[in-house]
């Protein structure tokens, strides 16, 4: 300005402020209320520092306001358009070197705020001296704070439109305090990955044409007390030993209440700090990959809790949630639903999906509560919802979001898979987004979908006493009516073994021997049925008690000192052998999503409680799976088989003595006879063990 360069400094509680530039030291005039100013006879703005005098100390420091904004025009344009696919690199707290000075860039989206300040341990949680700059119409606020590094605690102090103030955790914080503390933590990753071979290989075959058996793990309670790094020493070895191809981890993203199992997220970009820092979580994923195990994680984009330090009315008005209270309030969980129609919110979630896959090398996202997103009338009575523009109940914004999310993830991260937990018959969940179906919608673009119908029906059948099962035979066969409408996962998840639903073995009728036999027969049927498998921890060794997040699986059941340990070890040995045989048999997974990969032998033997079918690989090589859900041995049971197989041999029998069974089976190769049965020219006579499944392959 005329006469030189004007300096203005806002330092609350300071007694004096001087400008240091070169060898020049100039004290500024005290304008009151923490403001200091002065006009220096300079031609241009120099590199300078401040010397600030307080009552008991003098500090030399950089002036945050001498630095130009750290966010570029392209970042702001993409944020404004809702198309910033790496949003976490633009918003949040980022340690960086800016104009030659080390510090942290703080950036937040708060378009309704009258003002935003940064508060943290570095300024005694008083953000008065660190107001952020508004970067225009995008609603983004930014400030670079010199001298602040990784590990510092912070929040944003937001002045709402009505003038009141609220302290908020950073929506894009990449690290948080350990709950119940709620501050965000400045984070800088120093992790070096060692899974390059895994990443290069995982895109070779799409998930629906590859073997996939998933072990679902609640991380805090699998072995209570273990950190991410301690889990990394035990979990990969355990999962590898049992032969599972993948783990599905819950909960991952930060959440305030452990009893929510991670389904009420407050830190969408931060792995839960209960078990370690983000680099510790990367170490766990890395070790799983190095053991040849894929990593899926539960992802929760449907809703978020109402905590007043998190996303709810973040800047004083509905922002992440829908502006219509009826649309915002989730009727079942007391939470808020995201406004999928707002481009910045959609961007926040799409980028979050990409973030986990790119930054943490996650191989797949199991997307929670998809049905609650798709329907405007989900759990709502008439009068509690408004139809869409076509008069329908479909949430068109949510459909567009899911399509964008899936298309973006699959484009950016080769080899990943997205899995929908969708409990209705929505058309085209696993259809490509550009292929329209009868409903007029393009597909949602998921890779796989949980088969909730199969899970419900088959567990209902198994819970019946065997004498009654003949009246419910259709509960085991109905799944094949729609088996190829989507790419399916068969889930026996945490949801099925809590809150009065009983553990898997406790759902079964009969005495202890029969309960275990039923579980073994069921697992043999499940692993042979079209679809991928998912089994929750504790069920692999027939734990009798329901799962509790407070103490996890009952590992003591496997202690050799426990009298019934052999019963539980037998079921676990079966799961190991199921996975081993499954992975070695392309007929069980190569054509999982094609009708050519399955053929009934007999699906109507309701009086016998018997189900028999063939699984076929791409070359037609068969596996014969036969389940006898009656508690009697069936001798010389005749089944029609292909006439081009000279002999069959048993490759798996859930009644083997080492699994806890009676040892009934077919130890010798079984040769077909030229006697027609079940529409086939040849047939075999088998001995079917009681409450058991047997698999046979060409000898």
**Residues with catalytic function:** 368, 421
Instruction: Find residue 32's DSSP bridge partners.
Output: 35
The alpha helices in 449-508, defined as continuous H runs, are 452-463, 474-477
- Residue 334 has a CB neighbour count (10 Å cut-off) of 11
Report the C-alpha gap between 304 and 372 in whole angstroms: 13
* DSSP per-residue codes, 403-450: HHHHHHHHHHSTT-EEEE---S--TTTTS-TTSB-TTSPBP---SEEE
Task: Report the C-alpha gap between 379 and 7 in whole angstroms.
Answer: 59
DSSP-assigned letter for residue 244 = -
What's the order of all strands across the beta sheet hosting 16-21?
A: 24-27, 16-21, 49-53, 58-61
DSSP lists the bridge partners of residue 449 as 420, 488
At residue 469's C-alpha, the angle toward residues 468 and 470, to 5°, is: 95
CA distance 691 to 152: 60
Locus of tokens 């992440």: 320
Cβ neighbors of 481 (< 8 A, separation 6 or more) are none
CA dist list (Å): 621 to 562, 581, 644? 43, 15, 10
> Phi/psi of residue 273, each to 5°?
-80, -5
Q: How many CB atoms lie within 10 A of CB 303?
A: 23
DSSP 237: H
Sort 609 into a burial class: Cβ within 10 Å, 0-12 / 13-18 / 19+. buried
DSSP letters for 48-111: -EEEEE-SS-EEEE--GGGSPPSS-HHHHHHHHHT--TTGGGTSEEEEEEETTEEEEEEEEE-T
**Cα–Cα–Cα angle for 480, 300, 216, rounded to 5 degrees:** 55
Q: 134 — phi, psi (to 5°)? A: -80, 130
């Amino acid at each position: 300005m005329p006469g030189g360069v004007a300096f203005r400094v806002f330092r609350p509680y300071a007694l004096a402020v001087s400008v240091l530039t070169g060898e020049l030291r100039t004290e500024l005039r005290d304008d009151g209320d923490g403001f200091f100013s002065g006009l220096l006879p300079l031609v241009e703005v120099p590199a300078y520092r401040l010397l600030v005098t307080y009552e008991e100390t003098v500090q030399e420091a950089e002036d945050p306001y001498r630095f130009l904004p750290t966010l570029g025009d392209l970042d702001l344009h993409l944020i404004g358009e809702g198309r910033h696919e790496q949003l976490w690199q633009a918003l949040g707290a980022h340690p960086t070197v800016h104009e030659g000075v080390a510090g942290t860039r703080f950036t937040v989206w708060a378009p309704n705020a009258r003002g935003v300040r940064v508060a943290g341990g570095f300024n005694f949680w008083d953000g008065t001296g660190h107001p952020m700059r508004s970067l225009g119409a995008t609603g983004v606020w930014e400030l670079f704070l010199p001298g602040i590094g990784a590990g510092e605690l912070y929040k944003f102090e937001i002045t709402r439109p009505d003038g009141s103030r609220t302290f908020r955790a950073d929506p894009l914080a990449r690290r948080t305090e350990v709950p119940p503390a709620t501050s965000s933590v400045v984070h800088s990753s120093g992790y070096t990955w060692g899974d390059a071979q895994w990443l290069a290989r995982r895109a070779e075959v799409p998930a629906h044409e590859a073997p996939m058996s998933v072990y679902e793990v609640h991380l805090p309670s699998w072995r209570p007390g273990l950190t991410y790094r301690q889990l990394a020493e035990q979990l990969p070895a355990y999962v590898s030993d049992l032969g599972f191809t993948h783990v599905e981890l819950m909960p991952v993203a930060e959440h305030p209440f452990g009893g929510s199992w991670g389904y009420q997220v407050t830190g969408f970009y931060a792995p839960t700090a209960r078990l370690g820092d983000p680099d510790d979580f990367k170490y766990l994923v890395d070790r799983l990959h190095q053991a040849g195990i894929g990593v899926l994680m539960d992802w929760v984009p449907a809703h978020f809790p109402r905590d007043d330090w998190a996303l709810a009315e973040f800047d004083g008005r509905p922002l992440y949630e829908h502006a219509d209270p009826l649309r915002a309030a989730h009727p079942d969980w007391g939470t808020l639903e995201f406004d999928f129609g707002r481009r910045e919110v959609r961007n926040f979630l799409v980028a979050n999906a990409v973030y986990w896959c790119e930054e943490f090398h996650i191989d797949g996202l199991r997307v929670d509560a998809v049905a609650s997103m798709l329907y405007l009338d989900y759990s709502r009575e008439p009068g509690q919802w408004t139809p869409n523009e076509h008069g329908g109940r479909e949430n068109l914004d949510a459909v567009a979001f899911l399509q964008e999310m899936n298309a973006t993830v699959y484009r950016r991260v080769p080899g990943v898979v997205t899995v929908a937990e969708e409990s209705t018959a929505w058309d085209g969940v696993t259809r490509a987004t550009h292929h329209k179906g009868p409903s007029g919608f393009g597909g949602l673009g998921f890779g796989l979908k949980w088969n909730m119908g199969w899970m419900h029906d088959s567990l209902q059948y198994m819970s019946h006493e065997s004498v009654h099962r003949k009246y419910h035979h259709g509960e085991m066969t109905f799944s094949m009516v729609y088996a190829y409408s989507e790419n399916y996962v068969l889930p026996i998840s945490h949801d099925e073994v809590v809150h009065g639903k009983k553990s898997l073995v406790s759902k079964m009728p009969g005495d202890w021997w029969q309960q275990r036999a039923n579980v073994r027969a069921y697992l043999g049927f499940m692993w042979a049925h079209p679809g991928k498998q998912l089994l929750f921890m504790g069920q692999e060794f027939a734990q009798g008690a329901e799962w509790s997040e407070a103490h996890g699986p009952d590992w003591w059941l496997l202690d050799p000192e426990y009298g019934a340990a052999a019963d539980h070890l037998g079921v676990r040995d079966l799961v190991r052998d199921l996975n081993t045989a499954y992975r070695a048999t392309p007929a069980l997974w190569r054509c999982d999503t094609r009708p050519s990969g399955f053929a009934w032998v007999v699906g109507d033997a309701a009086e016998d409680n018997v189900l028999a079918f063939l699984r076929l690989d791409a070359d037609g090589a068969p596996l014969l799976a036969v389940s006898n859900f009656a508690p009697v041995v069936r001798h010389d049971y005749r089944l029609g088989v292909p006439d081009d197989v000279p002999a069959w041999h048993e490759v798996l029998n859930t009644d083997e003595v080492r699994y806890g069974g009676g040892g009934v089976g077919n130890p010798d190769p079984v040769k077909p006879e030229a006697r027609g049965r079940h529409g086939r020219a040849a047939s075999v006579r088998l001995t079917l063990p009681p409450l058991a499944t047997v698999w046979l392959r060409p000898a």
